[in-house]
């Protein structure tokens, strides 16, 4: 090494002591973000994020001193400066434990922990509603740093209540994937209007924090067992999948952001996909990179000289004024510097070190990094004309301690005073590159000996529930209740984990609860009596999905444990033998994609990643297996009864009497529906062994009978009286909305409900209930939601380009598949779907999505490249193009490539009219171009909103084909400006008329030929595109001619 290590360490110590440690408050241990007070704000408060980043250099130097055998005995001093700051923030946040408790359930920004505190006291400095406090990335960064410091040997947590608070912070951040926050720049939407968004940088930092703390003992390696943090692998996996769906974008309004550098590499290392990491880094460099650092995001007006300091928000129309003159931050070069060092890319690391050092400003003998560089007012026009050509000036905030600290971390790493393992003792950066082969211990259980014998006869290895004692079997609902105790603290007013769903990964572990050993059944085997669990084919699909999720996302070194139970309802179903054969093949490892190990409950418990829970429970309390109880089938007639009864006019007593007279299954179902509508489920029907049998008991019994006979229409009708809010409702809806999709429930516009953000299960249930007056329709919508959410999670590629999910439209497409397109005019969608088995509905919807995706891709490509679709070999010759357009209009796709082409075309017209000019269907090109950027999701959702009410669906498809024709014209004629608006409905009508004229010219022998629009929709896409392109060209010529005359 070319320098003397003690001398270099001393030089760094003197610099860090003067520039960073001198700012630390002697009582609270907190740091002000800056000593600056200017027209941009008062920076003397202690921001959580700035404090954690500011201490990074101090921590790194303490590690460097330890590595060098601690010359000058400074390691202890530096380490305790870090501990003092971390505990100062801990105390500040613990004073707001009531907010943590409230926020866990509400997810309301008003209940969030504060983003900054008084440096001198650690108390609040600004009101709950006076700041964008909900900044989950900051809380997560604190937790991530806490984990790394504890892993490196520092002692930060001193009591059980402190541990419980940290455990509750895990609950606080665990739903970041579905929680809009104000983000790293504190103001939410890029217009600074305080509208929160789901931010990729927050999701990524939360993922890293949860993974870092999972299984970590906060008291160190030799701490008590109760001090081990419970994170939840499902939350980590879901955050990871949502993060990958967001990147390289930051949020709906920001198509890219410099903050993403903090999650693709140090300190979060949150992205496992190497290609996505490279793509995101390149997007930041290409769109935000400059000579003085990187911009925060496009059209960012912060601290530009033309920013209006009298207000904190921007007008949409003024954003374009900031184009090309956004402030550039050296801070982002520090992330890139450290990133390249971790990647061992020495050449690039040297480049960023050189750039950073050239951007430093000397003050009081120290070379410091300013917060940002801005374009002086007199150079704005020149910079806009030639971006990157003009010199910039540093602002007065010198240094930005956050940036200075990260530069010093990089320098110590670069000079080999510390290693990447020192900075990341948890090894998160290594986990990014590890591909693990996951072993899954599969425990097959039979509810009783009779079912066990069935399984053994089928060649399956199994045990009964009684045989595995003293190991207990619990359901996911029981586990949810147990977790309500983990992290509870009476002194702090904290409960444990909220009652939220626990999914595949969280329950694939053995548990020890107050010394009782437990295995948990898969979440789809919960305690309710959902009919979908008793369809053997769908049960098999659930197993496949669960094994796939575990195989893809399991990150523990021990085996995953997958326990399933076969009960009497499932064992008696037609098709159960097929399920048993599948299980047998699984156990024999005939499926290469799954590494399944059939094991006894005892051996699976030993090989799993064990979780311990210890808390006070009532004396003598024992965990017991809580499973659904199916009533014995109610006596039902198998005869065909063609008699029609008008049950709605019968009295309750008449209905109950008829229920006892051996009715058919259909009659019994209708009687029970009538009794349910009259709130008579509590009425007594008869007695058995001196015990009353109520209508509710009969309902359960008839439901069992309908299941056994696979009468799915009756099953769903009866289940409509059992439907209630469940955690999976919220989970499935969230799977859709967190991926920036809009979920619409209902058929008629008046009853349609739009869901854009994740909701509580009660709110989802209410939305489904309000979407239709039919209880049967509500059951079907619930099922469609479950299937769509599952497919969105397992196969997100099926929804490529789809921005809005309309459940009724998906159901309509499935119904067409079931009965044929030629019979769909008077289709009863709900009745058609309700008559099919759950697996038929699941598989049909899956096939519909695959087919629509393939058809769309093929036809768009053929139109784009002017190929002749109807001359292609294969089945495209036989397509009914009217039905094709009907289907495409039901699932509107807006691929990124088309949106970028549309964006480039907007400059050539003032307005585009998509529908009725009197309604909200007009796109204002100037406003759009001045307030958005081409890659942001806000633009995609604008197009979706403008076209959402166009009907019927085949006509909506024609409108989009007209839009394609307009885009094609603009690409061919980049200087071809439309003087007036481009009215797509008019274009479509004129194209149809042109076809009629052409047909008459080509076929003069045909008299009185005319064509309606629906007949025009029967032409191939190439023919329609031909006439639409012709109509666009004529429109352009007419507008130019009219303009010249005036």
Q: Are residues 608 and 685 in the same domain?
A: no
* Mean pLDDT value across residues 597-624: 82
Q: Are residues 503 and 603 in the same domain?
A: yes
Look at residue 746 in the predicted model and tell me its pLDDT: 83
**CA-closest candidate to residue 528, choices 490, 499, 569:** 569
Look at residue 1006 in the predicted model and tell me its pLDDT: 59
Residue 568 has pLDDT above 90, yes or no: no
Q: Are residues 541 and 677 in the same domain?
A: no
Q: How far apart are CA 116 and CA 389, in angstroms?
A: 38
Look at residue 922 in the predicted model and tell me its pLDDT: 92
Q: How far apart are CA 907 and CA 34, in angstroms?
A: 43
Look at residue 872 in the predicted model and tell me its pLDDT: 45
Look at residue 955 in the predicted model and tell me its pLDDT: 92
Which residues, listed in sequence order, are joined to residue 472 by a DSSP beta bridge? 518
pLDDT bucket at 510, cuts 50 / 70 / 90: very high
pLDDT bucket at 828, cuts 50 / 70 / 90: confident
Can you say how many angstroms the Cα of residue 507 is from the centroid of all Cα atoms in its chain? 20
Residue 943 domain flag? yes
pLDDT bucket at 633, cuts 50 / 70 / 90: low
Q: Which two tokens stand for residue 617?
A: 């429970």
Block residue for tokens 């529908």: 915
Look at residue 870 in the predicted model and tell me its pLDDT: 47
Can you say how many angstroms the Cα of residue 900 is from the centroid of all Cα atoms in its chain? 24
* Mean pLDDT value across residues 819-835: 75
Burial environment of residue 308 by CB neighbours within 10 A (0 to 12, 13 to 18, 19 or more): exposed
Question: How many other C-beta atoms can be found within 10 angstroms of the C-beta atom of residue 416?
Answer: 11
- The model carries a pTM of 0.89
* Mean pLDDT value across residues 377-395: 94
Look at residue 448 in the predicted model and tell me its pLDDT: 92
Residue 412 domain flag? no
Output the CA angle 690-693-697, nearest 5 degrees: 145
pLDDT bucket at 871, cuts 50 / 70 / 90: very low
Domain count, the chain: 3
Residue 163 domain flag? no
Q: How far apart are CA 974 and CA 976, in angstroms?
A: 6
Look at residue 189 in the predicted model and tell me its pLDDT: 86
Residue 631 has pLDDT above 70, yes or no: no
* Mean pLDDT value across residues 48-55: 96
Output the CA angle 524-525-531, nearest 5 degrees: 80
Q: Which two tokens stand for residue 548?
A: 């796939």
Look at residue 882 in the predicted model and tell me its pLDDT: 86
Do the beta carbons of residue 969 and residue 1033 sit within 8 Å? yes
* Mean pLDDT value across residues 620-630: 62
Q: Are residues 572 and 661 in the same domain?
A: no
Burial environment of residue 286 by CB neighbours within 10 A (0 to 12, 13 to 18, 19 or more): exposed
Domain end: 684, 719, 754, which one?
719
Q: Which two tokens stand for residue 642?
A: 């063609």
Look at residue 966 in the predicted model and tell me its pLDDT: 95
- Assess whether the previous peptide bond of 272 is cis (omega < 30° from 0): no
Q: How far apart are CA 587 and CA 543, in angstroms?
A: 13
764-814: pLDDT as tens digits: 999 999 988 899 999 999 999 999 999 998 888 889 888 889 999 999 999
* Mean pLDDT value across residues 28-32: 95
Q: Are residues 578 and 654 in the same domain?
A: no
Residue 1046 has pLDDT above 60, yes or no: no
Looking at per-residue confidence, does 538 or 855 come out higher? 538
343-357: pLDDT as tens digits: 999 999 999 999 999
Residue 956 domain flag? yes
Domain end: 669, 694, 719, which one?
719
- Which range of residues forms the domain containing residue 912? 888-1046
Residue 1006 domain flag? yes
Residue 885 has pLDDT above 60, yes or no: yes
Look at residue 617 in the predicted model and tell me its pLDDT: 66
* Mean pLDDT value across residues 618-626: 61
Q: Are residues 670 and 563 in the same domain?
A: no
Residue 882 domain flag? no
Residue 633 domain flag? no
How do beta strands 293-295 and 328-329 pair? antiparallel
* Mean pLDDT value across residues 581-609: 93
Looking at per-residue confidence, does 776 or 747 come out higher? 776
Q: Which two tokens stand for residue 200?
A: 């990729």
Q: How far apart are CA 693 and CA 681, in angstroms?
A: 11
Question: How many other C-beta atoms can be found within 10 angstroms of the C-beta atom of residue 373?
Answer: 20
Q: Are residues 714 and 570 in the same domain?
A: no
Do the beta carbons of residue 714 and residue 665 sit within 8 Å? yes
pLDDT bucket at 122, cuts 50 / 70 / 90: very high
Q: Give the CA-trace dihedral at 419, 422, 424, 425, to 10 degrees.
A: 130
Which residue intervals of 492-553 are DSSP H helices? Answer: 536-553
Which residues, listed in sequence order, are joined to residue 489 by a DSSP beta bridge? 494
Residue 976 has pLDDT above 50, yes or no: yes
Domain end: 657, 684, 719, which one?
719
**CA-closest candidate to residue 395, choices 286, 288, 314, 293:** 293
Q: Are residues 447 and 595 in the same domain?
A: yes
Residue 86 has pLDDT above 90, yes or no: yes
Q: Are residues 918 and 1010 in the same domain?
A: yes
Residue 509 domain flag? yes
Q: Are residues 566 and 657 in the same domain?
A: no
Q: How far apart are CA 494 and CA 101, in angstroms?
A: 6
428-450: pLDDT as tens digits: 998 866 767 899 999 999 999 99
Q: How far apart are CA 607 and CA 442, in angstroms?
A: 11
* Mean pLDDT value across residues 438-465: 94
Do the beta carbons of residue 994 and residue 1031 sit within 8 Å? yes
- Percent of the chain having pLDDT more than 70? 91
Block residue for tokens 């425990």: 443
336-340, 713-717, 916-920: least confident range: 916-920
654-658, 700-704, 915-919: least confident range: 915-919
Distances (CA, A) of 594 to 563, 588, 958: 15, 11, 45
Q: Are residues 567 and 460 in the same domain?
A: yes
pLDDT bucket at 692, cuts 50 / 70 / 90: confident
Looking at per-residue confidence, does 551 or 312 come out higher? 551
**CA-closest candidate to residue 779, choices 831, 855, 856:** 831
* Mean pLDDT value across residues 919-942: 89
Q: Are residues 447 and 553 in the same domain?
A: yes
- Assess whether the previous peptide bond of 538 is cis (omega < 30° from 0): no
Look at residue 866 in the predicted model and tell me its pLDDT: 43
Report CA Rg, the chain. 32
204-241: pLDDT as tens digits: 999 999 999 999 999 998 899 999 999 999 999 989 99
* Mean pLDDT value across residues 275-288: 96
Q: Report the chain's mean pLDDT, rounded to a whole number.
A: 88
Look at residue 618 in the predicted model and tell me its pLDDT: 59
844-848, 881-885, 944-948, 999-1003: least confident range: 999-1003
């Amino acid at each position: 090494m070319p320098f003397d290590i003690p001398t270099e360490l001393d030089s760094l110590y003197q610099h860090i002591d003067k520039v960073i440690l001198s700012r630390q408050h002697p009582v609270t241990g907190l740091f002000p973000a800056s000593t600056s007070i200017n027209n941009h704000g008062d920076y003397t408060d202690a921001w959580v994020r700035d404090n954690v980043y500011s201490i990074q250099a101090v921590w790194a130097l303490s590690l460097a001193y330890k590595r060098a055998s601690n010359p000058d005995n400074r390691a202890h001093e530096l380490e305790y400066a870090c501990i003092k700051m971390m505990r100062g923030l801990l105390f500040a946040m613990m004073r707001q434990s009531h907010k943590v408790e409230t926020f866990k359930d509400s997810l309301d920004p008003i209940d969030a922990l504060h983003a900054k505190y008084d440096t001198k006291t650690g108390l609040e400095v600004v009101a709950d509603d006076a700041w964008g406090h909900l900044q989950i990335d900051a809380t997560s960064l604190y937790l991530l740093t806490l984990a790394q410091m504890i892993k490196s040997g520092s002692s930060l947590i001193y009591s059980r209540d402190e541990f419980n608070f940290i455990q509750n912070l895990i609950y606080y951040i665990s739903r970041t994937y579905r929680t809009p926050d104000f983000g790293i720049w504190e103001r939410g939407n890029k217009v600074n209007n305080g509208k929160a968004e789901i931010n990729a940088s927050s999701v990524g930092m939360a993922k890293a924090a949860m993974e870092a703390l999972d299984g970590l003992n906060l008291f160190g390696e030799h701490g008590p067992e109760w001090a081990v943090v419970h994170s939840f692998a499902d939350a980590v996996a879901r955050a990871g999948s949502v993060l990958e769906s967001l990147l390289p974008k930051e949020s709906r309004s920001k198509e890219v952001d410099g903050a993403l550098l903090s999650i693709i590499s140090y300190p979060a290392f949150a992205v496992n996909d190497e290609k996505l990491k490279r793509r995101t880094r390149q997007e930041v460099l290409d769109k935000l990179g400059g000579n003085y650092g990187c911009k925060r995001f496009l059209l960012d007006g912060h601290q530009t000289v033309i920013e209006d300091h009298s207000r904190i928000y921007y007008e949409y129309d003024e954003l374009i004024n900031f184009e090309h003159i956004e402030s550039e931050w050296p801070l982002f070069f520090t992330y890139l510097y450290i990133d390249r060092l971790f990647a061992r890319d020495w050449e690039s690391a040297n480049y960023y070190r050189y750039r950073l050092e050239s951007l430093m400003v000397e003050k009081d003998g120290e070379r410091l990094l300013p917060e940002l560089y801005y374009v002086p007012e007199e150079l704005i026009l020149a910079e806009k004309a030639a971006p990157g050509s003009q010199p910039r000036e540093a602002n007065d905030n010198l240094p930005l301690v956050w940036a200075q600290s990260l530069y010093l971390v990089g320098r110590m790493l670069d000079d080999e005073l510390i290693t990447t393992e020192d900075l990341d003792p948890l090894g998160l950066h290594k986990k990014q590159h590890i591909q693990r082969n996951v072993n899954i211990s599969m425990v097959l259980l039979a509810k009783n000996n009779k079912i066990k014998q069935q399984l053994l006869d089928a060649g399956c290895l199994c045990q009964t529930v009684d045989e595995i004692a003293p190991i207990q079997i619990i359901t996911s609902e029981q586990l949810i209740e147990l977790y309500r105790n983990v992290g509870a603290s009476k002194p702090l007013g904290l409960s444990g984990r909220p009652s939220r769903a626990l999914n595949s990964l969280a329950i694939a572990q053995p548990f020890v609860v107050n010394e009782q050993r437990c295995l948990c059944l898969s979440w789809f085997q919960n305690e309710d009596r959902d009919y979908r669990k008793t369809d053997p084919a769908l049960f098999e699909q659930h197993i496949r999905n669960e094994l796939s999720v575990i195989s893809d996302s399991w990150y523990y070194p021990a085996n995953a444990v997958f326990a399933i139970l076969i009960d009497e309802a499932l064992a008696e179903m037609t098709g159960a033998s097929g399920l048993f054969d599948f299980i047998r093949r699984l156990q024999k490892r005939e499926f290469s994609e799954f590494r399944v190990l059939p094991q006894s409950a005892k051996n699976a418990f030993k090989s799993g990643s064990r979780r311990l829970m210890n808390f006070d429970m009532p004396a003598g309390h024992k965990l017991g297996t809580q499973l659904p109880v199916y009533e014995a089938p109610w006596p039902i007639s198998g005869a065909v009864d063609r008699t029609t009864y008008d049950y709605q006019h019968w009295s309750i007593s008449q209905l109950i009497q008829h229920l006892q007279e051996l009715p058919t299954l259909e009659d019994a179902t209708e009687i029970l529906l009538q009794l349910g509508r009259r709130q008579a489920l509590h009425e007594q029907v008869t007695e058995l062994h001196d015990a009353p049998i109520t209508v509710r008991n009969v309902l359960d019994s008839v439901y069992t009978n309908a299941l056994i006979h696979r009468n799915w229409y009756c099953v769903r009708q009866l289940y409509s009286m059992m439907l209630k809010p469940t955690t999976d409702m919220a989970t499935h809806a969230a799977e859709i909305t967190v991926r920036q999709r809009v979920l619409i429930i209902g058929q008629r516009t008046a009853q349609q409900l739009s869901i854009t953000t994740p909701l509580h299960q009660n709110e989802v249930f209410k939305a489904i209930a309000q979407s239709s007056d039919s209880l049967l329709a509500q059951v079907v919508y619930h099922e469609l939601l479950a299937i769509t959410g599952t497919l969105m999670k397992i196969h997100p590629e099926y929804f490529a380009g789809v921005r809005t999910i309309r459940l009724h439209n998906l159901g309509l497409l499935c119904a067409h598949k079931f009965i044929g397109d030629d019979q769909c005019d008077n289709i009863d969608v709900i009745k058609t779907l309700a008559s099919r088995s759950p697996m038929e509905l699941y598989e049909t919807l899956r096939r519909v999505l695959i087919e629509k995706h393939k058809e769309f891709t093929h036809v768009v490509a053929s139109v784009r490249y002017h190929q002749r679709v109807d001359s292609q070999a294969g089945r495209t010759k036989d397509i009914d193009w009217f039905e094709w357009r009907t289907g495409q209009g039901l699932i509107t796709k807006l691929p990124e490539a088309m949106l970028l082409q549309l964006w480039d075309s907007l400059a050539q017209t003032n307005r585009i009219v998509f529908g009725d000019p009197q309604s909200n269907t007009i796109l204002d090109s100037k406003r759009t171009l001045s307030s958005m950027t081409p890659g942001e999701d806000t633009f995609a959702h604008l197009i979706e909103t403008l076209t959402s009410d166009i009907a019927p669906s085949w006509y909506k498809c024609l409108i989009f084909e007209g839009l394609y024709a307009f885009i094609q014209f603009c690409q061919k004629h980049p200087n071809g400006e439309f003087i007036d608006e481009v009215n797509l409905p008019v274009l479509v009508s004129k194209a149809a008329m042109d076809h009629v004229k052409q047909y008459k010219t080509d076929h003069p022998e045909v008299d009185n030929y005319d064509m309606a629009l629906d007949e025009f929709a029967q032409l191939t896409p190439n023919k329609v595109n031909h006439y639409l392109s012709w109509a666009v060209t004529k429109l352009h010529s007419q507008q130019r001619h009219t303009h010249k005359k005036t």
